[in-house]
Amino acid sequence: MIRVNELVKSYGGKRVVDAVGFEVAEGEVFGLLGPNGAGKTTTMEMVEGLRKPDAGEINLFGVDALRKPKAVKELIGIQLQSTALFDHLTTRESILLYGSFYRNMRRVGELLQAFDLVEKGKTLVKHLSGGQRQRLAIALAVVHDPRVIFLDEPTTGLDPKARRDLWEIILRLKEEGRTIFLSTHYMEEAEQLCDRVAIMDSGRVIALDTPAGLIRELASESVVEFVTETGVPEASLRGLTGVKDVKQTGDGLTLLPTDDLRGTLAELIPLASETGLTLNGLRTRTATLEDVFLERTGKRLADR
């Protein structure tokens, strides 16, 4: 169990983390999402023990993390975006090196097997693919058999197959009973992996629930989306049957959340014909966590 209470951090007189609090249950995958500047990275670093808060409490499995940082070190494993990998060591040598930093370590062969790196044990790190490097980075994070693992955007820059391969590894870690604290900017990843997610904006947690629970809170179950080369007639679009809002993203996408998909489309097509509104890439879909994020923060997570 992780308990965070009234966490505060300021820089230059500005609060970047403002009285943040949440709990993470043992054995769950907990996601922390937020746009750039939301305070999520600072929050994660404070919980990991990499940054000291100005105020607040952090408790990991009954241990006061601020008073007993050394005791907490044995309980956690951290995979950072910039995990230092030594190019001229082999995969096996890297695991042995990181394992030497702890009192206890898992068997090298066991880790190579668990992270699909058996055939790469004698390969220099510089010759590993992006996906293999990320798997190694997570293997190093669990080399001492920690109870909680912090993963900072673990699949960033990976191709779709490598990303899904890493998802399987993360889910296997969960099946082992480990607690996983995850940050990501892929909404599909958060929906697939996380038991609960916290959304941060302007230094505060503004929403916290299961992905399904957050989606249920939306006023609309469906979304119509399109790209237009003409001006968007917001007033006319808001007047369409079922439309709850008109949202425009930084990449030119127009989103119409609706609770009457058929009625919205029946009126949108004639409106486009009458006004010259282009509907490039018109499609419909069910609401997702991305829509929750957009509604709560006014931004798409991918824009960051």
Which pLDDT value is given to residue 157?
83
| 228 and 92 share one domain | no
In a domain, 293, yes or no: no
In a domain, 23, yes or no: yes
Domain count across the chain: 2
In a domain, 303, yes or no: no
Radius of gyration of the chain (CA): 22
Phi, psi of 231 (to 5 degrees): -65, 150
Q: Where are the beta strands (DSSP E) in the chain?
A: 2-11, 14-24, 29-33, 55-60, 63-64, 76-79, 148-152, 179-183, 196-201, 204-209, 222-227, 247-248, 253-258, 280-286
| 96 and 244 share one domain | no
Give per-residue pLDDT as tens, 232-251: 889 999 999 999 989 888 77
In a domain, 198, yes or no: yes
In the chain, the amino acid numbered 82 is S
Give per-residue pLDDT as tens, 133-155: 999 999 999 999 999 999 998 88
Is residue 303 within 8 A of residue 297, CB to CB? The reply is: no
Which pLDDT value is given to residue 302?
58
| 36 and 166 share one domain | yes
* Tokens standing for residue 61: 């499995």
Q: Would you give the DSSP letter of residue 184?
A: -
Count of CB atoms situated within 10 Å of the CB of 153: 16
| 252 and 179 share one domain | no
d(CA 125, CA 94): 8
Which pLDDT value is given to residue 303?
52
| 169 and 274 share one domain | no
**Residue 194 CA neighbour count, 13 Å, CB half:** 29
| 196 and 117 share one domain | yes
In a domain, 299, yes or no: no
Regarding pTM above 0.95, the answer is: no
Phi, psi of 237 (to 5 degrees): -70, -40
Which pLDDT value is given to residue 249?
81
Torsion over CA of 56, 60, 66 and 71, rounded to 10 degrees?
A: 180
Phi, psi of 129 (to 5 degrees): -75, 170
Which pLDDT value is given to residue 81?
67
| 156 and 281 share one domain | no
Q: By C-alpha distance, which of 198, 229, 228, 201 is closest to 213?
A: 198
| 25 and 92 share one domain | yes
In a domain, 168, yes or no: yes
State CA 129 to chain mean position distance: 22
* Tokens standing for residue 77: 């494993």
Range of the domain at 65: 2-216
In a domain, 295, yes or no: no
| 118 and 259 share one domain | no
d(CA 165, CA 169): 7
d(CA 94, CA 5): 36
Q: By C-alpha distance, which of 209, 218, 196 is closest to 286?
A: 218
| 119 and 231 share one domain | no
Q: Where are the beta strands (DSSP E) in 130-287?
A: 148-152, 179-183, 196-201, 204-209, 222-227, 247-248, 253-258, 280-286
Question: Please, which residues have CB within 8 angstroms of residue 142's CB and are 6 or more apart in sequence?
Answer: 77, 106, 111, 149, 173, 178
| 111 and 228 share one domain | no
What CATH number did the domain enclosing 100 receive? 3.40.50.300
Phi, psi of 287 (to 5 degrees): -65, 145
Which of 182, 216, 250 is the last residue in one of the domains?
A: 216
Q: Give per-10-residue mean pLDDT for the chain (304 aa).
A: 95 93 96 88 93 96 92 89 83 94 90 94 94 93 94 88 91 94 90 95 94 86 89 91 88 89 95 92 91 82 56
In a domain, 59, yes or no: yes
Is residue 66 within 8 A of residue 37, CB to CB? The reply is: no
| 9 and 117 share one domain | yes
